[in-house]
Amino acid sequence: MAERGTVSAVSLGLRCPHQAWRPFVPAPIAYSRRLTPPVSGNGGSVCGCSAIRQLAYPACCAPYSGSSKALPTSVSPGLTASSNLGLNLRPMSAFAEEEASKASPEEAPGHSYESLRVTAAQKHVLHVQLNRPEKRNAMNKAFWREMVVCFNKIAEDSDCRVVVISGAGKMFSSGIDLMDMASDLLQPTGDDSARISWHLHSLLTRYQETFSIIEKCPKPVIAAIHGGCIGGGVDLITACDIRYSTRDSFFQVKEVDVGLAADVGTLQRLPKVIGNQSLVNELAYTARKMMADEALESGLVSRLFPDKESMLDAAFTLAAEISSKSPVAVQSTKINLIYSRDHSVMESLNYMEKSPAQPLKMAFVPAPGYQPTYNPTLPYHNPIPGGLRVGMSIYIQGVASEHMKRFFVNFEVGQGQGADVAFHFNPRFDGWDKVVLNSKQNGSWGKEERKMSMPFRKGAAFELVFTVMTEHFKVVVNGTPFHEFKHRIPLQMVTHLHVDGDLMLQSINFIGGQPPSNQMPMPAQAYPVSTCWWVMDFPSSPGQYYQQQSRLPVKMLGCCVFFPQPVPFNGRLQGGLIARRTIIIKGYIPPTAKSFVINFKVGSSGDVALHINPRMTEGAVVRNSFLNGSWGSEERKVSYNPFGPGQFFDLSVRCGADRFKVYADGQHLFDFSHRLSAFQRVDLVEIHGDVTLSYVQI
């Protein structure tokens, strides 16, 4: 039998098997939290067991000296790394701050583990906790298995865009749980050295995958480290993309102290993380502690924080910022960064050119006459393209905060602090829930108009539409006419739109409007020119819509703007579907919706060049074609799914020479290669199913 002292097995530190720690059960961890201090057994003394004494970690086992206290809900300006790094996170908006302060996050569906706790921290962000605080998050057999299962699920979860990983209790991780793992690592069964070696090789390969799976996961992973990060903890964090740490943290490549080699990732990844081979050798040969300041200086972590709570707040703020970006762009960036780390510059450039993850190159191109801004940050205070004008519609989609008190939309004259306000739209939840409407001229507010009916619901998505008419603004909320506000200030003076308050913005779109007299519409190159848009106005009676012709210059075949009506919708594509033509579909998915369908169809034959079928009950976006009486093969894979019950969506379908390119909310969703070679024959757009349409441009 091979000498156990020379067996190369998995890494990581030790915990004392005799230490009588009382289990620490943390309070439900959110982003504004109170922690119950752990109780240290034996008065907090280090175990006197002679076999363990030399490996004891005083910093881990010392009595708890902190106090329970209320903790901040956001990152204070002072909680930054050393000033020469130039790092600074934007402060959270009111909505983001409230999202980050919700207590008791729910366990993420499909994630139930013995050693991990996975919660839906906030929209598009999962929080993975090492959840054995009573064992200092020592890594037992269940951990090595469950990490692989967990991150495989996360990789396939289209709703998850970022992961934050942390440790429950007093420290990040004390490393491998030798008491649980000893039978596998140090006492393998049998007497045949070859079979034992083969068994250990197989075991080691599986343990390496436990951390490699983090690196393989296309979603960015942020490690939030506090207290000790020992042995396997170092293996884990070096596989993460970003590392934050508290000032009391320390890091140890501990394996040589127990006769092992760090063979599940540290020796391979740490040199590339910190870029200092001499320092890596020193740490690996001596098992000394690297304190937090040294970790920051060497590049192992990018920021330090005074305590765990402020660190987690910053980590979730960063996660929210990343999740607001295009998931395809972010995930493609991660894939290419990791490839470039291990290959030459030319190999990496060639990989990017050939990589299937290159929707990065397919930038969103808005349709002519359509000017969207997606995921704008608050406060939003920007010029109105071309100025406010009759016939223009402003679509604002967003989500009201669950703790919303008020927000406002102002149409302003200029951008200064004392600017006049042509129209002030101000929902207020103040016990007398109402919407206040007003204007401000020469620094003084005018006479308020109040609507005591509240069309917004806390925590719910909404669509707010302002249509500029000759005499007044028309306001529609979630498809229902809400109010008409007569003009008090000439429209031509209005230059800016200002939005702020307790909400999160999904998109702002400026659509249509008669141009200033000195701007003549330019002839379109790719489309025949239409002389009008058709605007479906408010119903003159229930269920009845009338059409109003508006002289709006457009560079497309036509545009239908209408307030919600029942589907099916059938729109004719005059001149057929030609390359570079974009179709816009905005709508709302009811909470009870099961599925809906968008078909690009040849009217004469019934062939369907592109069939888009979001299925809410399956969480899938199915694409297909129907040619010569038969369905083709389905395509289902998407990097994220924008079609959720109770949500609004903004879909752009652009026809290219060889494929359709489809975007949702400005982010690439999927490509669909042409199966109907004569795609120009497509002359119908059909929409039916469980959906309400608010805007269609064809």
**Catalytically annotated residues:** 176, 232, 235, 255, 263
- Burial pattern 295-329, b for ≥16 Cβ within 10 A else e, equals bbebebbbbbbebbbbbbbbbbbbbbebbbebbbe
φ, ψ of residue 188 to 5 degrees: the values are -65, 145
- Burial pattern 398-417, b for ≥16 Cβ within 10 A else e, equals bbbbebbeebbbbbbbeeee
Helix, strand, or coil here: 541? strand
- 3-class SS string, 94-120: HHHHHHHCCCCCCECCCCCCCCEEEEE
Helix, strand, or coil here: 511? strand
CB-count burial class (<10 Å; 0-12, 13-18, 19+) for 225? buried
The answer to whether 396 and 463 have CB atoms below 8 angstroms apart is yes
End-to-end Cα spacing for the chain? 76
Q: Which of 57, 54, 20, 16 has the alpha carbon at shortest distance from 179? A: 16
- 3-class SS string, 551-603: CCCCCCCCCEECCCCCCCEEEECCCCCCCCCEEEEEEEECCCCCEEEEEEECC
Q: Is the dihedral of CA 197, 202, 208, 212 positive or negative?
A: positive
The answer to whether 612 and 626 have CB atoms below 8 angstroms apart is no
Retrieve residue 205's tokens: 């390969």
Name the residue with tokens 């884990």: 236
Cα(59)–Cα(360) distance, integer angstroms: 46
Nearest-10 crossing angle of helices 178-185, 193-216 = 130
- Please give the single-letter amino acid code of residue 580: R
